[in-house]
Amino acid sequence: MRYSALSILKNGLFGNKGWKPAWRTPAPKPHYDVVIVGGGGHGLATAYYLAKEFGITNVAVVEKGYVGSGNVGRNTTIIRSNYLLQGNNPFYELSMKLWEGLEQDFNFNAMVSQRGVLNLYHSDAQRDAYTRRGNAMRLHGVDADLLDREAVRAILPFLDFDNARFPIQGGLLQKRGGTVRHDAVAWGYARGADLRGVDILQNCEVTGIRQSQGRVLGVETTRGFIGCNKLALAAAGNSSRVAEMAGLKLPMESHVLQAFVSEGLKPFIDGVVTFGAGHFYVSQSDKGGLVFGGDIDGYNSYAQRGNLATVEHVAEAGKAMIPALSRIRVLRSWGGVMDMSMDGSPIIDRTPIDNLYLNAGWCYGGFKATPASGFCFAHLIARDLPQTTASAFRLDRFERGYLLDEKGQGAQPNLH
């Protein structure tokens, strides 16, 4: 069923009784060509592109909860391609390009909204770091603008320019950055994949990986054994646990990141702004809530909830950046569990086990990567060759010393 203004009109006139489920609820088949673990953005996008771009449709996505119950449904929805390193930037720009045509592609309005991402700087050193970054972007043909203080003031006059502990000196702006409606991404990919024959199996937790002679045979799940020719892991915050079922130990830790939404407000702030003198970033959803967040809590966690101290830190930085936030009330806080990798960059690679593929380590930045991650992972699964822009995301880079460390923090995940 195609979505359009016309279909809304037609259905509206008949009591909205004619709508069909966005995706089916099939029973698991005994065997698939490809089984993807994780019905988050990446798993669903992988299934979608496997079917659409690589013609592999005998695919199941197994999800332990409901579609989008993981980080795709709990992130702060920021998309951008302002990466520094050669191993990263082209990949994220590919993702941005895919976002730009996504909705028409999968016939679902995910509200891809390029209202700009502005990173503030407060010191010469930060300015220089942003200059380096902005130039890396420009070199790859990505839009980037370095704004001075007055240019920032012109866009956001209500930031604290005059009484700040760390005065704002300027900012790096990516105009094509912005936000996307998180849930709609999961739903759009799920619907798109389902239409092409992919089985989406909700409430189906993978509890074991059956192997024989160095090959994966399939997965044990709460809904029985499901066989497959190829097994693809896209379990975001639970990657270590799933990989462990295959005997792999990964270079990552699971950490909790909190996010927040305020009460609904009339338009307050248009694009995304990040504070350079503390941990805070904010945007306003199309529904009117200010969606914001800060740094990770800093300790290993699988609990999907955070700590009051972090809440306070975030609010402090928020009010320091925008004094007018003072009387705005925060409605809800929640947490998401992400795999924080040892260099802050992701992994899309084969594993030492022949037909086992890994997509993991997205830290707090994998939402923006969703389309490219799905596309590149599908490419790897289908062709057994990395897609060029994702060729640096190797699993053995730690052992071999080819790290992708944008922040230079080293092998301590909670510092990335």
Partner 1 sequence: MTSYRLSQGGLIDRARPLSFSFDGKPMSGFAGDSLASALLANGQRLMGRSFKYHRPRGVLTAGAAEPNALMTIGKGGRTEPNTRATLQELYDGLTARSQNRWPSLDFDIGALNGLLSPFLSAGFYYKTFMWPAAFWEKLYEPFIRKAAGLGEAAKESDPDSFEKCWAHCDLLVIGAGATGLAAALTAGRAGARVILVDEQAELGGSLLSETATIGGVPAAQFAREATAELEALPNVRTLARTTAFGRYDGNVFGAVERVQKHVATPQVGRPVERLWRIVAGRALLATGAEERPLVFGGNDIPGVMMAGAARSYLNRTAVAPARQMAIFTTNDSGYALARDLEACGVALTAIIDSRPEGAAPGLYKGQARILTDALVRDAHGGKSLSAITIARQGRTETLRLDGLAVSGGFSPVIHLACHRGDKPVWSDAQGAFLAEDRKGLALAGAAAGLSGLAACYEAGARKAVALLDQLGIAATAGSVPTVEGDIVAPATKPLWSIPGIRGKAFIDFQNDVHRADLALAVREGYAHVELAKRYTTNGMATDQGKLSNVNAIGLLAEARGVSPAEVGTTTFRPFYTPVSFGALAGSSHGKHFQPVRQSPLHGWAKKNGARFVETGLWYRSAWFPRTGETTWRESVDREVRTVREAAGLCDVSMLGKIEITGKDAALFLDRVYCNGFANLPVGKARYGLMLREDGFIYDDGTTSRLAEDRFFMTTTTAYAAGVLNHLEFCAQALWPELDVRLASVTDQWAQMAIAGPLARTILQEIVDEDISNEAFPFLGARAVSLFNGALKGRLFRISFSGELAYELAVPAGYGESVADALMEIGKPKGLCAYGVEALSVLRIEKGHVTHNEINGTVVPADLGFGRMVSAKKADFIGKHMLAREGLTAGNRHQLVGVVPLDPAASFRTGAHILAKGAAATLENSLGHVSSSCYSPHVGSTIGLALVRAGSSRHGEEVMIWNGLRGEYTPGRLCDPVFIDPENAKLKI
Partner 2 sequence: MASLIACPHCGRRPKEEFTVKGAALARPEPQAGADAWFDHVYLRDNPRGPYQEFWHHTSGCRRWLVVTRDTATHEVEEARDAALWNRETAR
Ligand X SMILES: Cc1cc2nc3c(=O)[nH]c(=O)nc-3n(C[C@H](O)[C@H](O)[C@H](O)COP(=O)(O)OP(=O)(O)OC[C@H]3O[C@@H](n4cnc5c(N)ncnc54)[C@H](O)[C@@H]3O)c2cc1C
Site residues for partner 1, 241-270, by CB under 8 A, read 262-268
What's at 227, amino acid-wise? G
Task: Answer yes or no: are the C-beta atoms of 186 and 73 closer than 8 Å.
Answer: yes
- Window 261-320: residues binding ligand FMN (CB under 6 A): 261, 285, 287, 289, 291, 304
Task: Answer yes or no: are the C-beta atoms of 123 and 129 closer than 8 Å.
Answer: no
CB of 314: closest distance to ligand FMN in angstroms? 15
Structure token pair of residue 328: 């705005």
Q: Which stretch binds ligand X (CB under 6 A): 93-101, 209-217, 230-238, 384-392?
A: 230-238
Asked if 195 interacts with ligand FMN (CB under 6 A), we say no
Q: Would you call 171 helix, strand, or coil by DSSP?
A: strand
Give which of 99, 95, 116, 92 is closest to 175, Cα–Cα.
116
Give which of 53, 17, 6 is closest to 192, Cα–Cα.
53
Q: Which residue number, 169 or 186, has a Cβ lying nearer to ligand X?
A: 186
- Window 221-260: residues binding partner 2 (CB under 8 A): 240-241, 249-254
Asked if 364 interacts with ligand X (CB under 6 A), we say yes
Q: Which does 234 bind (CB under 5 to 8 A by kind): partner 2, ligand X, ligand FMN, none?
A: ligand X
Contact flags string 97-136 toward ligand X, x per CB under 6 A:
----------------------------------------
How wide is the angle at C-alpha 70 spanned by C-alphas 344 and 343, nearest 5°? 5
- Window 14-73: residues binding ligand X (CB under 6 A): 37-43, 62-65, 69-72
Measured between alpha carbons, how far is 32 from 356 in angstroms, rounded to an integer? 14
Give which of 346, 339, 359, 358 is closest to 398, Cα–Cα.
346
Q: What is Dmax (Cα atoms) for the chain?
A: 67
Asked if 74 interacts with ligand FMN (CB under 6 A), we say yes
> DSSP label at 252?
E
Residues forming the site for ligand FMN (CB under 6 A): 73-75, 77, 182, 259, 261, 285, 287, 289, 291, 304, 331-332, 334
**Residues near ligand X (CB under 6 A):** 37-43, 62-65, 69-72, 74-78, 205-206, 234-238, 242, 257, 259, 293, 336, 338, 362, 364-368
